[in-house]
Amino acid sequence: MSLTRLDMVDVGEKGITAREAVAKGQVLFSPGTIRMIREGRIPKGDVLGSARVAGILAAKKTPQLIPMCHPLSLTQIRVDFEVGENSIEITSHIKAKDRTGVEMEALTAVVVAALTIYDMCKGVQEGISISNIRLVMKKGGRSGTKGRVDER
């Protein structure tokens, strides 16, 4: 297979509208590791604080990581965590006023936050798993609001 063409889509004629996207993902652990995270006993430091900053930075750097993504003027980046018995659910919420959607920024924030959690915890547990990364909602543009039926 030869690479014959790569093009960044021209969005210059599209109107600037409010855009929003929410993505989620999970990092799976043993209950002992979750306990260490909750108690602040992970040797590398504050797991969720580090992951939050990494996710925010990743959303801002998405066009530098994904070749055909447009640089966007993001107006809000939120990365939140829900710590369960054996998992951490990551949720990113991204907003912008721009010509194209923020789905890739939302997904990138979740992925990099998950990788950061993995990195912070790999010294205390083997077999950590990152899973179920998905876009759960997008709003704005021609297609309006869309979301996963199982997560509305």
* H-helix segments, 16-102: 31-38, 47-65
This prediction's pTM? 0.92
How far apart CA 98 and CA 18 sit, in angstroms, is: 7
What does the block give as tokens for 82?
Answer: 């829900």
pLDDT by residue for the chain (152 residues), tens only, comes to 666 788 888 898 888 999 999 999 999 999 999 999 999 999 999 999 999 999 999 999 999 999 999 999 999 999 999 999 999 999 999 999 999 999 999 999 999 999 999 999 999 999 999 999 999 999 987 776 777 645 65
Q: Where are the domains of the chain?
A: 17-140
Q: Which CATH architecture has domain 17-140?
A: 2-Layer Sandwich (3.30)
Provide the terminal-to-terminal Cα distance of the chain, rounded to the nearest Å: 40
Q: What residues are annotated to the active site?
A: 119
Selection from 62, 65, 67 nearest residue 98 by Cα: 62
C-alpha 70, offset from chain centre: 17
**3-state secondary structure (DSSP) of residue 77:** strand
